[in-house]
Amino acid sequence: MFFKVLFISLIFLISCGQDSTTPQGVAEKFIEEYFVYVDQEKALPFTMGLAKIKIEEQLKEVTKVRKRGEKLGVMLADVEFTFVKEMSVREGIKGFEYKLDIQGNEFSQKRNVLVSVSKENGKWLVSNFTE
Domain residue ranges of the chain, discontinuous segments joined by +? 22-129
Give pTM, 2 decimals: 0.79
Superfamily of domain 22-129: NTF2-like; domain 1 (3.10.450.100)
At 11, is the pLDDT very low, low, confident or very high (cuts 50, 70, 90)? very low
Query: Range with the lowest mean pLDDT among 52-56, 70-74, 80-84, 127-131?
Result: 70-74
Query: Range with the lowest mean pLDDT among 34-38, 60-64, 71-75, 125-129?
Result: 71-75
Q: Tell me the chain's radius of gyration from C-alpha atoms.
A: 17
pLDDT at residue number 64 = 80
pLDDT at residue number 56 = 98
Q: Which has the higher per-residue pLDDT, 101 or 16?
A: 101
CB 125 within 8 A of CB 26: yes
